[in-house]
Amino acid sequence: MTFFQRNSLALRLLWRDWRAGEITLLAAAIVIAVSSLTTVSFFTDRVQRALILQSNQLLGGDLSIISDRPFTSEFAEAARTRGLAVTSALRFPSMATAGGESLLTDIKVVSAGYPLRGEVKLADALFGAERTTRDIPAPGTAWVDERLLSRLSVKPGDSVTVGRLRLRIAALVTQEPDSVIGFINSAPKLMMNDSDVAASGLIQAGSRVRYRLYIAGETAGVDEFRTWAQTRIGAGQTIEGIRDARPEIRSALERAERFLGLAALVSVILSAVAIALAARRFLRRHLDGCAIMRCLGARQSTVVSLYLVHFIALGLVAAIAGCIIGYAAQFALASWLASFLAVALPLPSLAPAIYGLAAGVLLLLGFGLPPLVTLSQVSTLRVLRRDLGLPRAAGLAGYALGFAVICGLVLSKTQDLRLGAFVLGGFVAAAAVSVVLILGLLRLLTQVRAGGGVSFRYGVANLRRHAMANTIQVVALALGMMALLTLTLIRGDLLYSWQATLKPDAPNRFVVGIQAEQVQPLDAFFAARSIAKPVIFPMVRGRLIAINGRTLSSTDYTEDRARRLIDREFNLSWAERPQPDNRIVAGRWWDDPAARIDQLSVEEGIAATLGLKLEDRLTYDVAGSTFEATITSLRKVEWDSFRANFFVVAPPRLLEGLPVSYMTSLFVPSTQTATLNELVREFPNVVVIDVAQIMAQVQKMMDQVTNAVQFVFLFTLAAGLLVLYTAIASTRDEREYEAAIMRTLGASRRQIAATQLAEFSLMGALAGLLAAAGASALGYALALKVLHVPYEANHWIWLIGVVAGSIGIAIAGMLGARRVLAAPPLQSLRRIA
């Protein structure tokens, strides 16, 4: 047989099998696996390409230095002497008001030349035509985003007040460089001219200002400047270049890729099970054909290569279909997740499609080849004696290639050997526990089946006969159901538990950036409106620079949080008495603050993160001057109370003379929100943060993320159902045959249907039980480890899991097995026996 003849025969066989419906299930399994993989990889590929293609657009320059204090002039000078273009911007939160409404806004102050790279796009009205500009807002004007327009009900041409300054809205910004991802920064935006800042009076002690310097020019000059700048920057200053652009996007992307990728892998693993089952059915159905081919002189190798071509062609076609579905489905993911990215996503590259095609073909070969090899070993005697049965199966070892493919996929998703091993190990362990559990339950059911009716008894007998195969089905279905239960019930419970920790009269507004001279007038303001006078706390922004005389660097720590705490300034406060909701857990609070002033009380969580203990001496840098003090107590703080609280508190006189601002938290009933607008009018520099709004943002973000995850898990459920359907299909002949025997023995359709109903609903109940257990364990882990809320076990989940599982699987199973009831008994017996 020539190469051409063989391939053409293989393709003709493939076509005939397709027409006969012999390979629909194999194809469906590949399509599900590939579409779930490529949905995620097309999406992450688009984000990656956005980062590569738009890196300097994202950065606003070729290099950018970010600082929490103003730059000394040497940076700009050093850049200019190297022939580089320089501009700067600063950014801070503030209140913008218009027509009596006030809104927490992300203010960006830009100077001439901004942006050095990338473009700003403007429109004159909502949804108006876009134009690109090389200018910055003229003095006295502001450019705002669509959210500010809609939230303050203003339009271009209207005025908006920031601080003491009234700005005319000149345009609507539709795109700008260096916008930041993440919900915290998703406040409405306003861009204004550098020359207006002084008049606004917005930058005062305690303002959270991020300064940014943009550099652009010849690569050599930029590199040289970078090397120079690296030696000049201090704590709280970082350099970002094109190569390391937007680390926050990168790490968010990596996390998303890992998480969604692993979620997609669950469906791949289930699809692999479906492929293995469908391939065995394929084997059984093709034994006769192969025996005849062998009789007619085909060698084993011919049979293998014939079906190899057959499988590769099938794998490719199905994987292409999967890629097309994945390509379409990634738009859904993008619609939920891209809103965090503030980046226009380019179309994806071909890489995910190639990845999908390779994965599809390899999966089919890995899990389809073992039965295929068996096919080549079929005895030619089968032509004479059909009862010879199946050639010896390849066993688990035959699936080595399949396992290798799965391991490869897991590692390619985790990009980390340890995590990959952890995921695989976890999966194998969970599967093993589930298998043992299900086998045990089946055994138990067998014990009690004598007590049940004939349908129940026979249903149990059916389940137990293919105990292993049925267990695999139950576990596969349970995985799909667990994903859904977690995302519906458990997610609701967790949100509820979290919200339940908030008291209804918990403070719902933070007022920050109050200046010393505003404290008295603010008290008067509240008194005049008969609002309970809130406690106003002093706040000094300082950076921890040394512990026990040893200078700190963020590289001393491995934990991200610790590094951030070292890099950034954080808020210190002073107090005579501890706050009522604080509890001293070690050391003593200063009873007589006059006795010793160089004391500090530290929150226990931050102490643990930074490795601080009682009697450690901490050195702080506050706006260039330093002080030293000893930790004399550790406190436990109820952060969930949403009352103002501080990591580090000192006795009153220690922080005297340092730049101070004040803050408070208060509960404002919804009927009195107008008061807040008055407050902002009277004290234009203060920033009012709406806790409810932040909570709403967090919730919206969680909703969008869960939508995305839920979407990926739909593939898991589809794969779980496919496993069920394939398993039913692979035992359909057996079922039909047994139903025929029962019919000859006088069983009615109803009795046979009842038997199958018992079998499927038992299987569904077992899967539901397992799914409920898994989802509860997951919810428990999430509550304790991630959300840090007490977990309220939801007992309904067991009932819902079992009932929904048995009804759902019974319906799916009866649909899959309906043909069994339709055929006349003699026909079935003839065809199968």
Partner 1 sequence: MPIVRAVGLSKQVETGDARLTILDEVTFDIAEGEAVAILGASGSGKSTLLGLLAGLDTPTTGVVSIAGTNLFELDEDGRAVLRSQLVGFVFQSFQLLPALTALENVMLPLELAGAAGAQIRAQAMLERVGLDARVRHYPKQLSGGEQQRVAIARAFVREPRVLFADEPTGNLDSATGAQIIDLMFELNRERNTTLILVTHDEAMSRRCARALKLVAGRLSNGE
Which residue from 328, 351, 454, 608 is in contact with partner 1, where contact means CB under 8 A?
A: 454
Q: Does 833 bind partner 1 (CB under 8 A)?
A: yes
Only one of the segments 404-412, 458-466, 621-629, 790-798 lies at the binding site for partner 1 (rule: CB under 8 A); that segment is 458-466
Report which of 515, 506, 540, 507 is spatially closest to residue 676, judged by C-alpha positions.
507
Pairwise CA distance, residues 437 & 443, whole Å: 10
Which CB atom, from 199 or from 826, has the smaller least distance to partner 1? 826
- Read off the amino acid at residue 113: G
Nearest distance in Å: CB 737, partner 1: 8
Nearest distance in Å: CB 830, partner 1: 8
Q: Does 760 bind partner 1 (CB under 8 A)?
A: no
Q: Which two tokens stand for residue 542?
A: 């300082």
Nearest distance in Å: CB 465, partner 1: 4
Buried b (16+ CB within 10 A) or exposed e, 419-445: ebeebbeebeebbeebbebbbebbeeb
Which residue from 200, 462, 515, 665 is in contact with partner 1, where contact means CB under 8 A?
A: 462
Around Cβ 238, how many Cβ atoms within 10 Å?
Answer: 15
Q: Does 829 bind partner 1 (CB under 8 A)?
A: yes
Q: Does 827 bind partner 1 (CB under 8 A)?
A: yes
Q: Are 240 and 59 in contact (CB under 8 A)?
A: yes
Helix (H) or strand (E) holding 767: helix 749-781
Around Cβ 744, how many Cβ atoms within 10 Å?
Answer: 12
Which residue from 138, 742, 777, 803 is in contact with partner 1, where contact means CB under 8 A?
A: 742
Which CB atom, from 625 or from 744, has the smaller least distance to partner 1? 744
Q: Does 469 bind partner 1 (CB under 8 A)?
A: no
Nearest distance in Å: CB 439, partner 1: 16
The rounded Cα 591 to chain-centroid distance in angstroms is 48
Buried b (16+ CB within 10 A) or exposed e, 379-409: ebebeeeeeeeebeebeeebbebbbebbeeb
Question: What stretches of 731-748 show up as alpha helix (H) in DSSP?
Answer: 732-744
Which residue from 34, 270, 668, 747 is in contact with partner 1, where contact means CB under 8 A?
A: 747
Q: Does 744 bind partner 1 (CB under 8 A)?
A: yes
Q: Does 826 bind partner 1 (CB under 8 A)?
A: yes
Q: Which two tokens stand for residue 287?
A: 């034994």
3-state secondary structure of 774: helix
Q: Does 745 bind partner 1 (CB under 8 A)?
A: yes
Nearest distance in Å: CB 499, partner 1: 51
Q: Which two tokens stand for residue 656?
A: 């005297």
The single-letter DSSP state of residue 169 is E
Q: Does 443 bind partner 1 (CB under 8 A)?
A: no
Pairwise CA distance, residues 276 & 26, whole Å: 9
Only one of the segments 76-84, 314-322, 345-353, 746-754 lies at the binding site for partner 1 (rule: CB under 8 A); that segment is 746-754
Which residue from 131, 164, 561, 749 is in contact with partner 1, where contact means CB under 8 A?
A: 749
Question: What stretches of 105-202 show up as alpha helix (H) in DSSP?
Answer: 146-152, 197-200
Pairwise CA distance, residues 756 & 86, whole Å: 76
Q: Does 751 bind partner 1 (CB under 8 A)?
A: yes
Question: What stretches of 72-122 show up as alpha helix (H) in DSSP?
Answer: 73-81
Which CB atom, from 499 or from 744, has the smaller least distance to partner 1? 744
Pairwise CA distance, residues 362 & 355, whole Å: 10
DSSP states along 273-314: HHHHHHHHHHHHHHHHHHHHHHHTT--HHHHHHHHHHHHHHH
Pairwise CA distance, residues 426 & 430, whole Å: 6
Q: Does 446 bind partner 1 (CB under 8 A)?
A: no
Nearest distance in Å: CB 405, partner 1: 34
Q: Segment 796-825, which members bind partner 1 (CB under 8 A)?
A: 824-825
Which CB atom, from 672 or from 744, has the smaller least distance to partner 1? 744
Q: Does 735 bind partner 1 (CB under 8 A)?
A: no
Q: How many residues bind partner 1 (CB under 8 A)?
A: 25
Which CB atom, from 233 or from 742, has the smaller least distance to partner 1? 742
Q: Does 458 bind partner 1 (CB under 8 A)?
A: yes
Only one of the segments 202-210, 453-461, 505-513, 619-627 lies at the binding site for partner 1 (rule: CB under 8 A); that segment is 453-461
Which residue from 246, 491, 643, 743 is in contact with partner 1, where contact means CB under 8 A?
A: 743
Q: Does 456 bind partner 1 (CB under 8 A)?
A: no
Q: Does 389 bind partner 1 (CB under 8 A)?
A: no
Q: Does 697 bind partner 1 (CB under 8 A)?
A: no
Q: Segment 642-681, which members bind partner 1 (CB under 8 A)?
A: none
The rounded Cα 716 to chain-centroid distance in angstroms is 16
Only one of the segments 62-70, 456-464, 778-786, 797-805 lies at the binding site for partner 1 (rule: CB under 8 A); that segment is 456-464
Which residue from 750, 788, 795, 818 is in contact with partner 1, where contact means CB under 8 A?
A: 750
Footprint on this chain of partner 1 (rule: CB under 8 A) = 454, 457-458, 461-462, 464-465, 738, 741-751, 824-827, 829, 833
